[in-house]
Amino acid sequence: MTYLAVERPKIGWIGTGRMGLQLVRRLLDAGHDVALYNRTRAKCEHLAEFGAAIVDRPDQLADRDVVFVMVSASADLEAVTLGPDGVLTDPNHAPGLLIDSSTVSAPASAHIRAEAAKRGAEFLAAPVSGNPKVVAAGKLTLAVSGPRDAFDQALPLLELLGRGVTWVGEEETARLVKIAHNIFLGVVTQSLAEITVLAEKGGCSREAFLAFLNDSVMGSVFSRYKTPALVNLDFTPTFTMPLLRKDFDLGLAAARELEAPMPLASATAQLVASAIGAGHRDDDFATLILEQARRAGLELQPENARIDDGLGRSDDD
């Protein structure tokens, strides 16, 4: 393998949404040569000010040493790799290493891995845990699967993206790890909404209840991070309800295939679907608390409190 034989490999990046933009900045700030493709070019053009090159088609990244992909769904991954002008369709060039950080199904990932291999490209599945604020705080984590030697070579690049990079196994293992993570995200958020609504209906403010919880052994980085949204009802999206539903669908399908019962996840999936049916599509998935309050006959009001989210920022920064 030669894709990281040089000290500064040429990097391509496909998909500069909210997460991709932040991650590309980390690579650029580290001095790497990065070329970008995004379906809507205007959304990434400002990165040229930081040294990025902007291309018009994914196949224009085929001569890069390493290409990262971060798109929304399995169909999008196939489109930017194997579709018209995909990064794996250039007959003369293919990246040495393709690193996919999308949240997609294991079969879709396996298909791209096989096609990459036909073109002489290594493939790592590297889904991430975090959002743009987490990236900015340097706390992103990645689960990575694929050939161990490819992972070892790519590790210096992956470590630029966040604080934790874990090799979890061969082939598509990282896909299941990420889906399991996101199911837990949904179940924990629903549970947090339920107990917070219970405490408020019994006379305790959300701010006070969550301050107590976060300082207890039951508190976590996540509960602290979500506290401003739950207290002040600020549902600026970090992860929307339809995306969460997609991950529940993938996870429950895997559970059926592996014969691993998931009763709590199944119940939460129905509550997520109910929230989407009630119109909560574009806001953050923390809006689960609004539906929980509605079922409890409680109308929530923003508490307008100044709260540190644990990432070094308060709610009014």
Q: Which residues are catalytic?
A: 178
Nearest to 150 by CA among 228, 96, 190, 95: 96
C-alpha 301/C-alpha 253 separation (Å) is 37
Cα of first residue to Cα of last residue in the chain, in angstroms, is 46
* DSSP H helices in 63-217: 74-81, 106-118, 132-136, 148-158, 173-201, 206-215
DSSP-derived secondary structure letter, 135:
H
Radius of gyration of the chain (CA): 21
CB atoms within 10 A of CB 292: 22
Minimal CA–CA distance to 146: which of 180, 178, 115, 175?
A: 175
Residues 6+ positions from 233 with CB-CB distance below 8 Å:
290, 300, 301, 302
